Amino acid sequence: MSVLVVTGTDTGVGKTVVTAAVAALARARGASVAVVKPAQTGVLPGEPGDLDEVIRLSGVTTTFEFARFPAPLSPAAAARAAGLPPVSLLDAASRVRELAESHRLVVVEGAGGLLVRFDEDGTTIADLARLLTAQVLVVTRAGLGTLNHTALTLEALANRGVDPAGVVIGSWPREPGAAERSNVPDLEMLAARPLSGALPEGAGLLEPDTFTEVARNGLAATLGGAFAPARFRETFKLTP
């Protein structure tokens, strides 16, 4: 897979940390990697954004932010509030294809959830994935509410003819409760496959070397890691 789109079931679920983890593992294997953020919102010019976090954690420095809007809103609403034209995902697709010609992997991180609007026509990151014929990695929460959000996200992907690359829990708590424990087998049932990973809570605060090792243990082989769903379930005594 030369292009991977990372989306979430909501905002704040760990998309940036998962994006950094995928990039870090690809870089550790010696692959050429580029990371793209089509639209960054809620960040002023000159302030560090999501890509700065990706650079710090993964060491990947080939990054591209196509548009930035200061209001912490959806890309479409933030562009409107700033009086600026919205980012064109059609143009973004063209630029990502160019990057894919010279990089082994291009990771594209969305904004918010799958169906967040990027322009007034309602274009979403799912549309970008379809334009790129790219799979979408879904990052989800561990706790209450995650099953409905994940089911809706996967259903929306299927309705748009976009293949999921898997489901990753963006922040697995140090002390999972009953909700988190019972959600894992249900998440796997919704995805019709084992989990593609679970990054531990606080992974984004780690130093780069430690982060890469945590990423390796937290992401499945399809993403360059060594995460074993069966061992994960056994460790936390989760019902298969």
Query: So which residues are the catalytic ones?
Result: 37
Q: Are strands 105-113 and 197-200 parallel, antiparallel or unpaired?
A: unpaired
What element of type H or E holds 136? strand 135-140
Whole-number Å distance between alpha carbons of 16 and 99:
20
Whole-number Å distance between alpha carbons of 236 and 172:
11
CB 76 within 8 A of CB 86: yes
CB 34 within 8 A of CB 62: yes
CA dihedral 7, 11, 16, 18 (to 10 degrees): -60
Whole-number Å distance between alpha carbons of 30 and 181:
36
Short-list 122, 121, 173, 182, CA closest to 147? 182
Report CA-CA distances (Å) from 1 to 104, 154, 200, 224, 233: 8, 19, 25, 11, 27
Short-list 131, 95, 118, CA closest to 41? 118
Residue position matching structure tokens 């550790």: 28
